[in-house]
Structures are given as structure tokens and as C-alpha cells.
């Protein structure tokens, strides 16, 4: 029996259709219930949605930074 791989990661951009951006806003509203409001999604953020079996099961919000501060032994600096 063949299996269909239905897991994927989708990057949602400002240029995407309004339905995609509205779905991101809906997911962020749900995240804000658990994590607090007003700080998750900002103007320059990029959003990746992890979709499995036609459902959103994960969300990554990445914000560009200009500098990082070292804390302890490890530090991470992500740039776009």
C-alpha cells in the first residue's frame, strides 16, 4: 500500500494571499493565549508553519537581529 508523505514546512510571507496571512494571525492569537500578547509577531518576522496531515502542528516565528549578546558558553546568532 503506497503512503503519502503529508508533512511539510511552509514559509508564509507578506506577499502571500490574504488567506495564508490570516491563518498565521489565527495561529499567533492561539499562541498569545498561552504565552502572552503583543510580542510574538512583529513587522519583520518570518513565519514557518509545520503542517502534518492537513493540520498545523507547529509554528516558528523568526525575527532578524542586528547583534547578539553572549550568555554563558553557548550563543546563537541567526541572520536572514
For residue 10, list its beta bridge partners. Answer: 49
* Tens-digit pLDDT profile for residues 1-10: 455 677 999 9
Strands 8-12 and 55-62: unpaired
26-45 per-position pLDDT tens digit: 998 998 888 888 888 878 88
Torsion of CA 38, 22, 12, 53, to 10 degrees: 110
Burial of 47 (0-12, 13-18, 19+ CB in 10 A): buried
**Owner of C-alpha cell 499567533:** 28
Dist CA 76 CA 16 (whole Å) = 29
pLDDT attached to residue 50: 94
Residue with cell 492569537: 29
Amino acid at each position: 500500500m503506497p503512503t503519502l508523505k503529508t508533512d511539510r514546512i511552509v514559509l508564509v510571507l507578506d506577499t502571500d494571499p490574504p488567506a495564508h496571512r490570516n491563518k498565521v494571525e489565527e495561529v499567533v492569537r492561539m499562541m498569545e493565549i498561552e504565552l502572552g500578547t503583543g510580542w510574538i509577531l512583529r513587522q519583520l518576522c518570518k513565519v514557518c508553519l509545520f503542517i502534518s496531515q492537513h493540520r498545523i502542528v507547529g509554528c516558528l516565528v523568526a525575527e532578524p537581529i542586528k547583534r547578539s549578546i553572549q550568555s554563558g558558553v553557548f550563543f546563537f546568532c541567526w541572520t536572514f
